[in-house]
Each structure stands twice: as structure tokens, then as C-alpha cells.
């Protein structure tokens, strides 16, 4: 299909992240948002009024029943990703689903099967892959400029960053876990995409809950529910080994006694290394030039990652590109997350 038509998009879930998608979609001339659904219908109505969206639904199945809608963006809580995506695909809608892909591996596998059955695009919204710095590092790696990567040190750590205390965010049954599946998933995805998804061999993980149970370390993201519960971790650490000899360490925390929030990814390569700081948008390259250490600050041309992500989704619908974040890659990340939780529970390393 060529781009002389506008793809009609429906948004499912009108909470915090839907706003970011709506802003990005506005910049993609080949698409327009024609409907939005949320069980909290007033949320959907407010979002619709703000963005000039003509149709509002309290039940997303009504949105899926609209024949003119080509594709949906799924922005509901984690426990609803799989079911909503599978219903959307079965209704013939291409689907862009927020991260984490699913709560667990069987759900992710079922989503992949549903996309195959429907013959529709299923893409996971791993926006950080589209950041200019990340794309730049991918280019370096693809050209072999850093040599073999033998270690990755990555993490997303916050000082006071527990989202929506008591809401779905802090309930295992509704979120699948705490910061590991919420923000650790971003860094695992980014790191392993950069290095080409090597085969994992073993996973050792541990989780902690020092702040959440005491209602400390809270942030303003999400809607707090004072009557809700907190039964997830507020910090997780992991070490993963891979068949090619590479190791990866991950820190993910919503709250901790540290200086400030940090989102980092360090690659250790035989010929060079890089440090990405996604809080400060900095990228540093470390090499040896004529036997001396050379440190280079790279300033890639800034592009809006969510606009790039949505462009890639539309390109996939038009058959001119593959989705950059495939569901198979997201399943691989779901497997690692599941193994980290299993290791934390058993106190033993998990072999994959
Ligand atoms: N990529 C990112 O950087 C990023 C950032 C934040 C959130 N997210 C992801 O986006 C998703 C939503 O997060 P959020 O922060 O917007 O949460 P939120 O709680 O602000 O919004 C979720 C919305 O879904 C609605 N909802 C619940 N059940 C529904 C149903 N059956 N049908 C329709 N709507 C329903 C809720 O009423 C709410 O308005 C989560 O999976 C989260 O992990 C991604």
C-alpha cells in the first residue's frame, strides 16, 4: 500500500503514556488518530478533546468493531497487553503495544501466534531504540568499530520514582513486577538489541523491597491509590551470561539512596567502549589512539524518538520496512525478566 492515504489509528488506554503517542502521531502525516477508548471514559473524553479525536469509547471492543480503523496503539496496564493485543489482531488491526510486551512468556508467545494468524503487524513500543544516541551506537557496532563486546553494564535507577503507589503499577498480579519489568525492560531491550540478541546461558537475579512497603520513594507518575497494595520489588539486580562469552549486569530501581536518577548503558568492547547517559542525553566514546587513551564526546543530530518509532510502525504497515522492535525480540526480553524473577525467588542461578 502506498502512502497516498492516511492510516486510521485507535488508541486503547488514555493514561499517561497515551499523551506521548498522541503528540508523536501528530507529526506523522501518513496517519491520524480517529478514536480513543478507556474504561475511565472521562479520561478518554478529555484526551479526545485535547487532541481533536472524533470518537470516544468506554469499551475498547467498540473501538475494535470500527471497520475504518487500521491499527491500534495499546496503552493499558501490563496485565491487559496480551488480551487486548490478541483481540485487536483478531479484529484485523495492526498493533503497536506498549512495553513490557506481556506479563510472562506464555502470554508473549500467544501474542506472536495471534499476529501470525491475523497476518497483521505486531510491534512493541521500545522507544529508546529510536533515540539518536542509541542509533549512533548501533551504527558503530554494526561497523565493528568497538570490536567484540564482552561486557555490558546497564541500568535505570531512581532516587524517588515509585509510580502510582497502590495502583496497578505496584501489584504483581497487574504489573508482573516492579522496576525490573517497568524500566529494567527498557535497558535490557536496548542493550541486547545493540549487541544483536546473543543466546543467554544463565541468569542470576535478586530483588528488594525497601521503600515501597513503607510508602517511601514515591513519584508523581501514575495515579496513587491509598487503599491499594505494594507487593512488587522496588529494586532488582541481575547478571546474565551469554553463549558468546559476553556478560551483562543490570540495575533497576524505582527508589534508592543514591545521588539522583541515572539511566546508563556502558559497552565494553575489545577495540573501544561507549557510555550512554539517557538522563543527560550524552554519549562518550573511549578508544586508544596511537597508544594513548582518546575520549570523544559524540553529539548526534537530535531526533524525536517517539516520532521515529511511529514512522517505523507506519513504514511497517506500508511494507517498506520491518518493525525495529519485533515481538520475537520482546519475547526474548520477557524470557530474561522471567528468569531474573525466578532466580530471585529461588536464590539460585537459572540456566536457560
Ligand atoms: N515506553 C515508555 O516509556 C512508557 C512510559 C510509561 C508507561 N508505559 C507503559 O504504558 C502502559 C500504560 O502506562 P500509563 O503510565 O499510561 O498508565 P496509566 O495508569 O496512566 O494509564 C492506563 C490507562 O488504561 C486504562 N485502562 C485500564 N483498563 C482498561 C481497559 N480494559 N480498556 C481500556 N482502558 C483501560 C486506565 O483507565 C488508564 O487510564 C503500561 O504498560 C506502561 O508500562 C510505557
pLDDT in tens, 254-311: 999 999 999 999 999 999 999 999 999 999 999 999 999 999 999 988 899 999 999 9
Mutate to test the pocket of ligand 1, among 11, 12, 13, 48 (most ligand atoms within 8 A of CB): 13
Give every CB contact of residue 219 below 8 A, 6+ residues apart in sequence: 158, 160, 161, 162, 163, 254
Please answer whether residues 58 and 37 qualify as being in contact, where contact means their C-beta atoms are separated by less than 8 angstroms.
yes
Output the CA–CA distances (angstroms, integers) from residue 308 to 88, 115, 150, 194, 251, in the order listed: 23, 23, 30, 17, 27
Q: Which atom of ligand 1 is nearest to the CA of 14?
A: 39
Residue 124 CB-density burial (10 A; 0-12 exposed, 13-18 middle, 19+ buried): buried
Pocket of ligand 1 (CB under 6 A): 12-17, 37-40, 43, 60, 75-78, 80, 98-99, 125, 127, 182, 222
Mutate to test the pocket of ligand 1, among 98, 107, 224, 304 (most ligand atoms within 8 A of CB): 98
Give me 302's grid cell.
Answer: 537530535
Q: pLDDT below 70 — which residues of the chain?
A: 1-3
The pLDDT tens digits for 102-115 are 999 999 999 999 99
Using the mean position of ligand 1's atoms as its centre, give its distance from the Cα of residue 16 in Å. Answer: 7
Query: Alpha-carbon distance 281 to 133, whole Å?
Result: 7
Using the mean position of ligand 1's atoms as its centre, give its distance from the Cα of residue 321 in Å. Answer: 27
Q: What does the pLDDT read at residue 299?
A: 93
Q: What does the pLDDT read at residue 3?
A: 52
Domains of the chain and CATH, by start: 7-126 (3.40.50.720), 129-305+334-351 (3.30.360.10)
Using the mean position of ligand 1's atoms as its centre, give its distance from the Cα of residue 5 in Å. Answer: 29
Q: What does the pLDDT read at residue 5?
A: 79
Q: Where are any strands of DSSP class E within 147-289?
A: 149-157, 200-208, 235-242, 247-253, 262-269, 273-277, 282-289
On the question of a cis peptide bond just before residue 100, with omega within 30 degrees of 0, the verdict is yes
Q: What does the pLDDT read at residue 302?
A: 87
Query: Alpha-carbon distance 166 to 232, whole Å?
Result: 11
Q: What does the pLDDT read at residue 29?
A: 96
Amino acid at each position: 500500500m502506498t502512502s497516498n492515504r492516511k492510516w486510521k489509528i485507535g488508541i486503547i488506554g488514555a493514561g499517561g503514556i497515551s499523551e506521548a503517542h498522541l503528540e508523536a502521531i501528530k507529526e506523522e502525516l501518513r496517519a491520524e488518530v480517529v478514536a480513543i477508548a478507556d474504561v475511565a471514559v472521562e479520561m478518554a473524553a478529555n484526551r479526545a478533546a485535547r487532541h481533536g479525536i472524533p470518537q470516544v469509547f468506554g469499551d475498547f471492543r467498540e473501538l475494535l468493531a470500527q471497520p475504518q480503523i487500521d491499527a491500534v496503539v495499546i496503552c493499558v496496564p501490563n496485565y491487559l497487553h496480551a488480551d487486548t493485543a490478541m483481540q485487536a489482531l483478531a479484529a484485523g488491526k495492526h498493533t503497536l503495544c506498549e512495553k513490557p510486551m506481556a506479563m510472562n512468556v506464555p502470554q508473549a508467545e500467544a501474542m506472536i501466534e495471534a499476529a501470525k494468524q491475523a497476518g497483521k503487524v505486531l510491534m512493541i513500543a521500545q522507544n529508546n531504540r529510536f533515540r539518536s544516541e542509541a542509533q549512533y551506537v548501533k551504527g558503530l557496532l554494526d561497523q565493528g568499530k568497538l570490536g567484540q563486546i564482552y561486557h555490558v553494564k546497564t541500568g535505570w535507577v531512581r532516587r524517588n520514582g515509585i509510580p502510582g503507589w497502590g495502583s496497578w503499577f505496584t501489584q504483581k498480579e497487574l504489573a508482573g513486577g516492579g522496576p525490573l519489568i517497568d524500566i529494567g525492560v527498557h535497558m535490557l531491550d536496548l542493550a541486547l538489541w545493540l549487541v544483536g540478541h546473543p543466546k543467554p546461558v544463565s541468569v542470576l537475579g535478586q530483588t528488594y523491597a525497601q521503600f515501597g512497603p513503607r510508602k517511601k520513594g514515591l513519584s508523581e507518575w501514575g495515579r496513587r491509590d491509598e487503599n491499594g497494595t505494594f507487593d512488587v520489588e522496588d529494586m532488582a539486580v541481575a547478571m546474565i551470561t551469554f553463549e558468546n562469552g559476553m556478560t551483562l549486569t543490570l540495575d533497576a530501581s524505582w527508589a534508592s539512596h543514591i545521588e539522583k536518577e541515572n539511566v546508563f548503558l556502558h559497552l565494553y568492547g575489545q577495540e573501544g567502549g561507549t557510555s550512554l547517559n539517557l538522563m543527560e542525553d550524552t554519549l562518550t566514546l573511549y578508544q586508544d589512539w596511537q597508544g594513548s587513551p582518546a575520549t570523544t564526546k559524540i553529539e548526534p543530530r537530535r531526533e524525536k524518538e517517539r516520532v521515529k518509532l511511529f514512522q517505523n510502525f507506519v513504514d511497517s504497515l506500508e511494507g517498506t520496512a520491518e518493525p525495529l522492535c519485533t515481538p520475537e525480540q520482546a519475547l526474548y526480553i520477557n524470557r530474561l525478566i522471567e528468569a531474573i524473577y525466578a532466580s530471585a525467588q529461588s536464590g539460585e542461578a537459572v540456566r536457560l
